[in-house]
Chain A
């Protein structure tokens, strides 16, 4: 065998060793990668299971309470504010987490308060909780709606003030929302009596909120804010002062 042939075969052998080594490295990397994949799949499954499991006690906890309606609620799931003989019936469907409901409230709350006070409007407020899914599992919509319903039950004259304050300090949609303590502080500052605020924690009306959310959407509304004047959906500009007032006054004149 010539020197050249020997060198060539040595080189071939070295290349084969290198290739084998490389294959081994790839196999190790694949193995480690496989473990990571298994780990990630387990993590995903565990997360889904724990999230699905965590949500259930909340739901059953709420619905195991019998549905108790606030003292002055309608059968359709609304809180009534104003005198029964007012000529205009104003229905508002809102969620305390919904940013556009906040815009609507900030624009119109003053006018609505005035129209109720002068006997033109009887307000039927439907606090909904469908945006519970947008508060990291803290169910801010339900907690806020329950606070308002509790206030309607025991101190109905403070409902508008509380609604205005809650929207004035509205949390960002998709955040954890206000804590129970923060809701209580805001309620105190809106003049809701302390003994009423203390009842918020009990969640007496959470089941009612859930039931009226369901009946609200069954009745045909598709989102919030939905505003109806004497039963007719108001489709004009909801976010500036004026159009709603005019619609109410037109309805009154009829």
Chain B
């Protein structure tokens, strides 16, 4: 049992696992962005396409897709995912192949991705509390973005890429080594799940 736990922990800190998780999550985000982009284009070409309330979807009438929040920059947000996720996929694949990127590169990736995560959570908040509809593909993006963020942070703390004071970095890296990041991410995702069930439980399980 203890042996198994040890092996799991060793696996979790292996580059193959970390970049593999990053790769899978980024692919999921890319798929979801692609679906949402196609939907957005269909909706733009023919507003009637989504005008009937579809009973099979948890959301009705493309409520989320036609909100202003979904076009914050004047084009569908999903286009950002189409642009950004392939970069993450490239980083993950190159790293799996043994490439090590310079510090400034990984630091920039962390900064940009952090902005992306904040944006994803802002959208989630908007769709939950202002648009009032649930969009499964958006939820998938929220979760997979969180996982990419977690793996990227894992790497960057371990390698000291974040230009943090050395004491702070060693404390955080120690915490990651002690698997506290797993605890944090698990709590984070469970809070997300709880929020969804609280808000949409009656729609999902009723």
Contact = CB atoms under 8 A, between A and B. Distances in A.
* Interface residue tally on B, bucketed by range: 20 to 34
30 contacts: A26-B174, A26-B180, A29-B175, A29-B180, A29-B183, A30-B179, A33-B184, A34-B183, A37-B187, A37-B190, A40-B190, A44-B190, A47-B194, A51-B205, A55-B205, A98-B60, A99-B63, A100-B51, A100-B52, A130-B53, A132-B206, A137-B206, A172-B132, A173-B63, A174-B131, A217-B55, A222-B52, A222-B54, A222-B55, A238-B51
B83 interface: no
A210 to B, nearest CB: 13
A175 B179 CA distance: 41
A101 to B, nearest CB: 8
Majority SS of interface residues in chain B? helix
Interface in A51-102: 51-52, 54-55, 95, 98-101
Given A43-B194, A51-B197, A173-B61, A30 B183 contact: yes
B180 A99 contact: no
A225 interface: yes
Interface string A20-44: 0011001101100110110011011
Interface of B: 51-55, 58, 60-61, 63, 131-133, 174-175, 178-180, 183-184, 186-187, 190-191, 193-194, 197-198, 201-203, 205-206
A174 B132 contact: yes
Contacts of A222: 52, 54-55
What 6 pairs between A and B have smallest CB-CB spacing?
A174-B132, A223-B52, A33-B183, A51-B201, A55-B206, A26-B178
A131 B186 contact: no
